[in-house]
Amino acid sequence: MISYLVFAGTIAGFYALLSLGLVTAWGQGGLVNLGLVGFVGLGAYTSALLSGAAFPIWIDWIAAAVVSAAVGLALCFVVRNLRGDYLAIVTLGFAEILRLAETNEKWLTKGSDGISGIVAPLKSDLGESFPFFYLIMTWTLVGIVAFLLGCLLRSPFGRALRAVRDDEQIAAVAGKSVLRLKLQAFGIGAALSGLAGALYAHFTSYIAPDVFVVQLTIYIFLTVTVGGQTRLAGAVVGSIALVALLEASRFIAAAIPGLDAVQIASLREFAIAVTLILVMQLRPEGAFRMTNERSGLSASRAASESCYGKRAIVDDAT
Amino acid sequence: MLTDLLQYLVNGLIVGALIALPALGLTLIFSVLGFVNFSVAAQLTAGGYAGWLANTTLKLSLVPVLIIAFLVAGALGVVTDRIALAPIRRKPSARTPLMVAVVSIALNMALENAYRFSFGSGLNSFDMPIARDMKVGGIRIGLQQLHNLEIAIGLAVLLALFFSLTKLGKAMRAVADNVDLARLKGIEPVRLANLATFIGMGLAGVGGALLAIDTSVDPSTGSRLILLIFAGSVVGGLTSLPGAVAGALLMGVIGELGLLVLPPVYQSLTAFVAILITLLARPSGIFSGASGVRK
């Protein structure tokens, strides 16, 4: 039971990393990336192949993040002028193409058989306590990333990014480099996706193209929406909620008599999809609302100038 | 060599004709409702299953099978649209089209899993006599595929007549062109949106049934084709109905010709590249310069 919880907790950590990336790119930068899973796969394969070539693991992980970020930057640069819904089509297609390549470039990826026996750090030294170590390491990483992103998003960079999200033209008129901000946000998202993919690959020691399907993208959109699209805390809370939902649905579906394995699996996916639809309809702002993220420089400004309509959260500290 | 090339061309047109119906549906929905509905893939599959059930349990022949596929996919399209997507459209903001697109992917996933739950993941084939392929001057043409081509073209012509001759069709084009002006003229956009969804998803369903007759149907039939369908629609300009047909035929031919240089598994790659190039170079579609093809 404990090892099961540890496993689920580690998976939640991977989801949290992915969600932090999506909050940065989508929630804060307004850039939709339906090809999220493509970058996860890219990171996982980069890391697995490099470790197969006997590079040390820390280099593999950095390389995974760097490769995913580079591909993300290139994609974002190519599609820089596309409208949001066009961007959705292109990113979705991009992930599909990556998965095709993973399936068919057998010389590199071993095709649909996948790559197995990916080494994990310190696994032989730690033995029984390895899962604990990985759990703590993953969540430490989540903490560090969340802290750094928090600093970044509170900085002038974050404010400029939100300005681009809310109105590109005004941000451009105010002298912000819209393209550079978009690239940075998309790149951070892609890098975190790649890193999460690499962590996953070394944790389960097996990856295959079937792992990186569009369902995972939907999971992460659900996570971020449940938590609140613009909030880092929401990403972390949402990913724990997602894993709870995924695991609970496993037990509930298994408890219904007379279902075969395919039916149980499809019932769970169905439940996840319906949950995302319901959350989007009933509480699109998520558990953590969008706050009026103020610069702190002009504390005396009138609180009524909130741009988000109904209710702005105003800090009364001053 | 020439016959080879012609063979590819014929094959491409046949694939394109099948893609044309769902691409038309997608374009119709995008023009009238203003958002990208990814669940068109699931409705295509719905048409395939409806046709398969009608054929294997009720022993119906081709035409009633296609009508049932149209009705089932159309009705399912409208019902799921009202339940899942309409509530999100009602809160308009700058991000609404994107939210609806994301939710439509979730809807697609929900439907696909509902099919898998009900019918399993196996392939289901129709119980129809297989016509022998015929040969015209060294080029092989399947009779079934030829039928499909005729039906697809016939439906496209019917649709074109509907849009140019009937009051409802004209009203729908008006909404696609400018919602506010249409409302000013007393056109009710919501009712038209439902009709557009019904026709659009119905067309996808017919496409799915034809495809399933040609091959088979399984829960992911539609999702495997979604990139190609989008390519047809996007290349045609996303809001032009004749453009969608032309775009789909073009994508079919490019995809087949691509086989000359690409392994068959990478057929989606040509679709993706076509989408990317069109959106970057000419977002209004590659036919937008020609007269009469604009929406």
CATH number at residue B200: 1.10.3470
Residue contact A270–B117, C-beta within 8 A: yes
Q: Quote the distance between the C-alpha of residue B160 and its chain's center.
A: 15
Q: Quote the distance between the C-alpha of residue A153 and its chain's center.
A: 17
- Mutation site, A31, A82, A89, interface B, largest B CB count within 10 A: A89
Q: Is A206 helix (H, G, I), strand (E, B) or coil?
A: strand
Q: Is B291 part of a structural domain of the chain?
A: no
Min Cα distance A30 → chain B (Å) is 9
Dist. CA B236–CA B258, nearest whole Å: 19
Q: Is A68 part of a structural domain of the chain?
A: yes
Q: Is A310 part of a structural domain of the chain?
A: no
Written in H, E and C, the secondary structure of chain B is CHHHHHHHHHHHHHHHHHHHHHHHHHHHHHHHHCCCCCCHHHHHHHHHHHHHHHHHHCCCCHHHHHHHHHHHHHHHHHHHHHHHHHHHHCCCCCCHHHHHHHHHHHHHHHHHHHHHHHHCCCCECCCCCCCCCEEECCEEECHHHHHHHHHHHHHHHHHHHHHHHCHHHHHHHHHHHCHHHHHHCCCCHHHHHHHHHHHHHHHHHHHHHHHHHHCCECCCHHHHHHHHHHHHHHHCCCCCHHHHHHHHHHHHHHHHHHCCCCCHHHHHHHHHHHHHHHHHHCCCCCCCCCCCCCC
- Work out the number of other CB atoms within 10 angstroms of the CB of residue A265: 17
Q: Is A253 part of a structural domain of the chain?
A: yes
Give the model confidence (pLDDT) of A269-293 as tens digits.
898 899 989 988 888 777 777 766 6
Q: Is B288 part of a structural domain of the chain?
A: no
AA letter at A206: Y
Burial class (CB in 10 A: 0-12, 13-18, 19+), A39: buried
B120 contacts chain A (CB < 8 A): yes
Give the model confidence (pLDDT) of B62-81 as tens digits.
889 999 999 999 999 999 99
Strands A115-116 and A206-207 turn out to be: antiparallel
A269 contacts chain B (CB < 8 A): yes
Min Cα distance B273 → chain A (Å) is 9
Min Cα distance A281 → chain B (Å) is 6
Dist. CA A266–CA B225, nearest whole Å: 21
Candidate from B101, B113, B265 with C-beta closest to A266: B113
What pTM was estimated for this model as a whole?
0.86
Q: Is A16 part of a structural domain of the chain?
A: yes
CB B22 within 8 A of CB B225: yes
How many structural domains compose chain A? 1
State the residue range of the domain holding A255: 2-287
Q: Is B286 part of a structural domain of the chain?
A: no
The dihedrals phi and psi of A114, each to the nearest 5 degrees, come to 80, 175
Q: Is B77 part of a structural domain of the chain?
A: yes
Helix (H) or strand (E) holding A223: helix A214-227
Q: Is A84 helix (H, G, I), strand (E, B) or coil?
A: helix
Q: Is A269 part of a structural domain of the chain?
A: yes
How many structural domains compose chain B? 1
Within 8 A by CB and 6+ apart from B168, the residues are B162, B192, B195
Min Cα distance A164 → chain B (Å) is 13
- Mutation site, B105, B111, B119, interface A, largest A CB count within 10 A: B105
- Work out the number of other CB atoms within 10 angstroms of the CB of residue A31: 24
**Total length of chain A:** 318
Q: For residue B257, what pLDDT band results from cuts at 50, 70 and 90?
A: confident
ipTM comes to 0.85
A276 contacts chain B (CB < 8 A): yes
Q: Is A175 part of a structural domain of the chain?
A: yes
State the residue range of the domain holding B206: 2-119+132-281
A264 contacts chain B (CB < 8 A): no
Q: Is A305 part of a structural domain of the chain?
A: no
Query: What CATH number is associated with residue A176?
Result: 1.10.3470
Q: Is B227 part of a structural domain of the chain?
A: yes
Dist. CA A195–CA A36, nearest whole Å: 12
AA letter at B3: T
Q: Is B222 part of a structural domain of the chain?
A: yes
Mean pLDDT confidence for B264-270: 82
Dist. CA A118–CA A170, nearest whole Å: 48
Written in H, E and C, the secondary structure of A92-128 is HHHHHHHHHHHHHCHHHHCHHHCEECCCCCCHHHHHH
Q: pLDDT of chain A along its 318 residues, tens only? A: 788 899 999 999 999 999 999 999 988 888 888 889 999 999 999 999 998 888 888 899 999 999 999 999 999 999 888 877 788 889 999 998 998 888 888 888 888 888 888 888 777 777 778 888 999 999 999 999 999 999 999 999 999 999 888 888 888 888 888 999 999 999 999 999 999 999 999 998 899 988 888 889 988 988 988 888 788 888 899 999 999 988 888 888 888 888 888 888 888 889 889 998 998 888 877 777 776 665 555 444 444 444 443 333 333 333
Within 8 A by CB and 6+ apart from A243, the residues are A8, A9, A11, A12, A15
